[in-house]
Amino acid sequence: MKIGIYDPYLDTLGGGERYMLTIASCLSKNNDVSILWNSSDVLEKAISRFNLDLKNVRLSENIFSSKISLPQRLLKSREYDLIIFLSDGSIPIVLSSLIIHFQFPAEWIKLNVLTKFKLLRVGKIICNSKFTKSYIDKKLRVDSRVLYPPIGEIETSLVKKENLILTVGRLGLLETGATFKKQELLIEAFKKMCDLGLKDTRFVVAVSYKEKDQKALEKIKNLTEDYPIEIVENISFAAIKGLYEKAKIYWHAAGFGEDLNTSPERAEHFGISTVEAMLAGAVPIVFGGGGQLEIVQSGQNGFIWHNQEDLIAQTNKMLLEQEEWEKISKEAKERSKDFTGDRFCKEINEIIKK
């Protein structure tokens, strides 16, 4: 089968891009798979960042470029048996079979006559979490399928854990001026812990960002002065794995302080970095919103927090009570195994065959 895969955010190489590129890797074993993108180095960058096997995947013309007219796109789409399209809220018209993937609740989609017509050409819709599915199904009146993201391959080696708190995420500003992943809130929480007497513990904030996000980067860097906080930028997945292996605790805050009823897209849509940290034995302490609630069972394999006091109290408990940390860490590792790459590949192959 000849398959084209399109993701409009390939210039950022975040979690959604790894999802789509992992689909490409899985399907390329038995199909002719192309990434529809015009930048020639995107696969090289993706291999370096995500450590994916993309040797059987090739680049082809981006038929969804704004430079391609609708008649041209329709004609070129006929060259494919199937196109898998990551939606930014849009639904394309193509002449091949079509699978749409939604990574987040696209609340701005309108179910008008044109959208209904476009949906007639869509074979399947897949979502990355039950959280995303609940909004997409209601908005489009469909019954989408959940395909949870795959975790990267992380060796659960005997690397000695450090008193290290880690957070990993894309850096970007919301209209409010806050960062989407709330890195600044986590920095302030850690600083408060230090001011209250926390010793011999450091906080690492791993971020990926684009040139336009330089302002956001400077904003969080300015908050770290005189505290044991390190900002690491655009590092490879191999380097992130090293941090996962050392980290005792994993923090996540996306969605905190937001009205998730009116802006559900501001919650974490799933939270693959949380699962990867769990696989490496870090105890997740995450904000209770969005897809994180599908991963962490609070008190069993991690903790859910709702305010800064919760976050600090749960973190102190894990830093001070080694026996309890070991128990939760073990359960976190077990839970992470529900999201393996093998499971992901098996499911996406089943989806394209049905």
Q: Which tens digit of pLDDT belongs to each residue from 85-120?
A: 999 889 999 999 999 999 988 778 888 999 999 999
Q: What pLDDT score was predicted for residue 175?
A: 73
Residue 353 lies in a domain: no
- Sorting pLDDT into bands at 50, 70 and 90, what band is 211? confident
Q: Is residue 343 part of a domain?
A: no
Contact 206, 273 (CB under 8 A): no
The encoded tokens of residue 31 equal 């199909």
147-177: per-residue pLDDT in tens?
999 987 766 666 789 999 999 988 877 777 7
Q: Report CA dihedral (68, 37, 96, 86) to the nearest 10 degrees.
A: -110
Please tell me whether residues 121 and 182 are part of one structural domain: no
Range from 121-130, 196-205, 264-273, 308-317 carrying the lowest mean pLDDT: 264-273
pTM of the model: 0.86
Query: Is there a domain that residue 158 lies in?
Result: no
pLDDT for position 157: 61
Give the largest Cα separation in the chain, rounded: 66
Distance (Å, rounded) from C-alpha 333 to C-alpha 327? 10
Q: What average pLDDT does range 332-352 have in this prediction?
A: 94
257-261, 296-300, 313-317: range with lowest mean pLDDT: 257-261
E strand map for the chain: 2-6, 32-36, 57-60, 82-87, 97-102, 124-127, 145-146, 164-170, 202-208, 229-233, 249-252, 283-287, 303-305
Report phi then psi at 150, rounded to 5: -95, 145
CA angle at 88 for the pair 55 and 76, rounded to the nearest 5°: 60
What pLDDT does residue 156 have?
A: 61
Q: Answer yes or no: do 175 and 298 share one domain.
A: yes
pLDDT in tens, 130-143: 999 999 999 999 99
What would the DSSP string read from start to end of 27-71? HTTTSEEEEE-S-TTHHHHHHHHH----TTEEEE--TTSTTS-HH
| Position 186 confidence tier, pLDDT thresholds 50, 70, 90 | very high
Same-domain pairing of 172 and 302: yes
Check residue 172 and give its pLDDT.
Answer: 77
User: Mean pLDDT across the stretch 281-305?
Assistant: 96
Task: Place 238 in a pLDDT band, splitting at 50, 70 and 90.
Answer: confident
Strand pairing category for 2-6 and 32-36:
parallel
- In terms of Cα–Cα distance, which of 232, 227, 262, 264 is closest to 246? 232
Measured distance CA(300)–CA(36) in Å, rounded: 42
Reported as a single tens digit per residue, the pLDDT across 17-60 is: 999 999 999 999 999 999 999 988 999 999 988 889 999 999 99
The answer to whether residue 239 scores a pLDDT higher than 80 is yes
The pLDDT, as a whole number, for residue 263 is 85
Q: How many domains does the chain have?
A: 2
Q: Are residues 106 and 242 in the same domain?
A: no
In the predicted structure, residue 351 carries a pLDDT above the cut 80? yes
What does the pLDDT read at residue 322? 96
Q: Which domain holds residue 272?
A: 164-338
178 and 223 part of one domain? yes
34 with 109, same domain?
yes
21 neighbors 35 (Cβ within 8 angstroms): yes
Average pLDDT over residues 199-217: 89
Between 232 and 258, residue with greater pLDDT:
232
Query: Residue 327: helix, strand or coil by DSSP?
Result: helix
Provide mean pLDDT across the span 123-131: 96
% of the chain beyond a pLDDT of 90:
74
Q: CB of 231 within 8 A of CB of 209?
A: no
In a shared domain, residues 108 and 180: no
- How far is the CA of 1 from the CAs of 18, 33, 81, 126, 353, in angstroms? 22, 8, 6, 20, 10
- Specify the pLDDT at position 155: 62
Tokens representing residue 243 in the block: 């941090």
State mean pLDDT over 213-233: 91
**Given this model, what pLDDT does residue 67 score?**
93
Average of per-residue pLDDT across 223-251: 93
Higher per-residue confidence, 265 vs 92: 92
* 191 and 64 within one domain: no
3-state DSSP assignment of residue 241 = helix
Looking at residue 173, its pLDDT comes to 75
pLDDT recorded at residue 177 = 73
> Does residue 323 share a domain with residue 241?
yes
φ, ψ for residue 50, nearest 5 deg: -110, -5
Q: What is the CATH number of the domain that holds 220?
A: 3.40.50.2000
The reply to whether 220 and 295 lie within a common domain is yes
Q: Which amino acid type is present at position 144? A: S
Q: Is residue 281 predicted with pLDDT exceeding 70?
A: yes
Where residue 102 sits, what CATH number does that domain have?
3.40.50.11930
Q: How many CB atoms lie within 10 A of CB 253?
A: 26
Fill in the DSSP letter of residue 276: H
- Per-residue confidence (pLDDT) for residue 264, from 0 to 100: 84
In a domain, 157, yes or no: no
Residue 348 covered by a domain? no
